[in-house]
Structure 1
């Protein structure tokens, strides 16, 4: 449960928030982008933010009647050429907010990125060490089982040597067969 929460949180931060913020910075640095490229960058920035907010608030919002349909209508509003909703939301709401808090976002996202890297490296080291130990334990177990079998076979052969081979099997008794007469 906790691992799932950590994984989802890292996915939201590193898969959506950080790339969206980098896209924002890149787009704001060079304002000479074409209008269409700017429009789609705005759309993806807004979608990244919506995805993050949806993951956080999904338990509260998902029970609303026609939630999926409302979300679909809003997404279409964002990219539909006649409404150009992403441009409106970006310019009126998102851009002023992010511009005011840009240094805070930069600091936090950089810290989270560094912590995520440290955590990933820590898990890599521990998993590789655990895997190596488990592999050697399996080898030791298999070697122990193999030596036990050879010891038990040699003990049995010393106590009860195998009888010399017969031409007649021991389960066959000549005179004991019944004949059925019809």
Structure 2
């Protein structure tokens, strides 16, 4: 029974992944999990454990995955028309990470490293020129950037205050009603009638009763 119970989820998962038309959301979620979620956690563990071999492994993976994502951006109009595209992408991401295949290292050594070494000087010049232009833009528009920064900070403060008011309406309302500087009476006390203000006519009747008339 235990073996049967463990085989049922695996069979259902394989059917969902292998169904080409009915599992688009499932396969895309699987691609995101395998391609980004698990490598992020594995990179975190490699950094915290100070494992140089694991750090090198996941650095190579991120280089290969970044190159694939960059190519995917330019080829998305052609790739997304393929009905089995996400299934092939899922298999490719698994192939990049498997220790037996070590696909990320293969792509890095055969394609990525030779290409970057061949164009390294040109890329360094391009990055240097881009960084200089960004620095000039920041210096030239420093006042506008400060104004934009202050506006973003004000919007963030206002949004956080609105969220607090939505999440804690009862606490905020009770604090305002119980404030001694707030002249508004407590609504609960008004409903009970304990602190409800008396009418002027009743006060005048209590203070100035009419004298009894003499027969």
Q: TM-score, normalised by structure 2?
A: 0.39
Return the TM-score normalized by structure 1.
0.46
